[in-house]
Amino acid sequence: MDFNDSPDEAAFRARARAFLEANARRKSPGARPGDSSGADLDLAAAKAWQLKKAGAGFAGLVWPKAYGGQELGPIFHIIYAAEEAEYDVPRGFFEIGLGMCIPTLLAFATEEQKARFAGPALRGEEIWCQLFSEPAAGSDVAGLRMKAEKTGDVWHLTGQKIWTSGAHYSDYGIVLARSNVDVAKHLGLTMFFVDMKSPGIEVRPIKQMSGGSNFNEVFFDSVAIPDTQRLGAPGQGWSVALVTLMNERLAIGGSTGPDYMEIMELARGLGVLGDHAFRQKLADWAVRFEGLKLTRFRTMTALSKGEVPGPESAIGKIIAARQLQEIASEALDLAGEYGLISAGATGSAAPGTTPDTTIFHHAFFWAPGLRIAGGTDEVLRNIIAERVLGLPADLRADKDIAFRDIAFRDLPTGA
């Protein structure tokens, strides 16, 4: 591992810092939202920031220059994200589009389509969402049932998606659907991109326990999609989806939310830092935090050398998401009755009189989602077991049988 920036990386970091220093406000301690729920984020402000960022050459860092990118290695994306995380800028609207949807278009769309869609997404003028998960297909996304039928040059999509982040403010989406039920589940999928304002699409926001509504149910009722908006060949949707999901790792990126330093400060303020049971937990979190940092350095070293990080990067999310949940829960316990009050929600923080638990509140509501999004703990453990440790593979009873023969009693006939 090499912990130091190369000369190019150091120069880029300095340029990024100068841009951020000149255009954004540095975060004050305790004011970190640590959340991408999007509930209280201002879309107009986020679009303005994205436009500024794109103008300064800090958006689409890994994209080809031909589509407005900077054609830099992924390490520069990580460096910029780490620097930007120190500043109070609106985020949470563009990651899925820029990190997952447009890279999928860049790999599979026509030249004309790439030229049409990359620029507006980069400048924050158009927002994209990812329509993969369904009520019966999350971890097992290849088991999805949205029906895609072709008549002439037009496909009609019917079915339901769920957990679609940002669908309610998105202009376009990439959608995975089943075009063939007579082959094994992975082989009967086709990917499209769709205008979210198309007739037949209904978006219903889901109310979250955090109070926000960032994800949605999305219903498709015979939504017409021209064949020209197909990404990849019919039946090749799984390979296309893997390109999207590989990009997801980079898009989701590093840790979000308070760490052991912040809970230590809270405990100090509350006068409980001397508690032995708490100190033991604190020591565990500090050790894991350092372990995570070194694991991240390993990934960064691989990226810096132009290598692709291996499945071991799954370790980072398992540990970080669980640790965030533990820290948030402990902080709200420590704060006692004040743990019930979200200063961020009421706007009534009273420094000096009540402990400010805002960042822990955000983390408390956000961490369970983090343990699910981009691969649940169990699914990531399976990846580590099979691909890092070489243990026997998970049982996959439906792998080699036609989708229509999987025991779904309610599969529509002729689907």
Q: Which is nearer to ligand FAD, 23 or 382 (CB)?
A: 382
Residue nearest to ligand FAD (CB): 138
In angstroms, the CA 216 to CA 206 distance is 5
- Which residues 291-310 are close enough to bind ligand FAD by CB under 6 A? none
The residues, any chain, with a CB within 8 Å of residue 379's CB and separated by 6 or more, are 139
**Two structure tokens written together for 50:** 């994205």
In angstroms, the CA 288 to CA 351 distance is 30
Asked if 243 touches ligand FAD (CB under 6 A), the answer is no
**Two structure tokens written together for 195:** 């205008």
Please give the backbone phi and psi of residue 148, each rounded to the nearest 5 degrees, phi first.
-120, 115
Q: Which is nearer to ligand FAD, 16 or 131 (CB)?
A: 131
Among 67, 76, 117, 163, binds ligand FAD (CB under 6 A): 163
Asked if 394 touches ligand FAD (CB under 6 A), the answer is yes
Rounded to the nearest whole angstrom, what is the least distance from the CB of residue 351 to ligand FAD in the complex?
31
Rounded to the nearest whole angstrom, what is the least distance from the CB of residue 136 to ligand FAD in the complex?
8
Asked if 160 touches ligand FAD (CB under 6 A), the answer is no
Asked if 172 touches ligand FAD (CB under 6 A), the answer is no
Q: Which is nearer to ligand FAD, 225 or 343 (CB)?
A: 225
Among 113, 236, 301, 376, binds ligand FAD (CB under 6 A): 376
Rounded to the nearest whole angstrom, what is the least distance from the CB of residue 399 to ligand FAD in the complex?
12
Q: Which is nearer to ligand FAD, 198 or 382 (CB)?
A: 382
**Two structure tokens written together for 289:** 């935090």
Q: Which is nearer to ligand FAD, 76 or 132 (CB)?
A: 132
Distance of CA 250 to the CA centre of its chain: 9
Report the candidate in 81, 74, 14 with the shortest Cα–Cα distance to residue 305: 74
In angstroms, the CA 122 to CA 128 distance is 11
Amino acid at 130: Q
Contact region with ligand FAD (CB under 6 A), list: 190-198, 199-207, 330-338, 373-381 = 373-381
- State the alpha helices, DSSP H only, in 5-164: 7-23, 43-55, 74-84, 95-96, 102-108, 111-122
Rounded to the nearest whole angstrom, what is the least distance from the CB of residue 400 to ligand FAD in the complex?
17
Q: Site mask, ligand FAD, residues 118-137, x = CB under 6 A?
A: -----------xxxxx----
Rounded to the nearest whole angstrom, what is the least distance from the CB of residue 143 to ligand FAD in the complex?
9
In angstroms, the CA 56 to CA 247 distance is 23
Please give the backbone phi and psi of residue 76, each rounded to the nearest 5 degrees, phi first.
-70, -35
Rounded to the nearest whole angstrom, what is the least distance from the CB of residue 66 to ligand FAD in the complex?
28
Rounded to the nearest whole angstrom, what is the least distance from the CB of residue 415 to ligand FAD in the complex?
20
- Which residues 67-96 are close enough to bind ligand FAD by CB under 6 A? 96
Query: Within 10 Å of residue 58's Cβ, how many Cβ atoms?
Result: 22
Q: Which is nearer to ligand FAD, 318 or 373 (CB)?
A: 373
- In the block, residue with structure tokens 């072709």: 150
Rounded to the nearest whole angstrom, what is the least distance from the CB of residue 217 to ligand FAD in the complex?
11
Asked if 379 touches ligand FAD (CB under 6 A), the answer is yes
- In the block, residue with structure tokens 């923080």: 349
Q: What is the radius of gyration, based on Cα positions, of the chain?
A: 22
Please give the backbone phi and psi of residue 217, each rounded to the nearest 5 degrees, phi first.
-90, 140
Enumerate binding residues for ligand FAD (CB under 6 A).
96, 129-133, 138-139, 163-165, 215, 369, 372-373, 376, 378-379, 382, 394
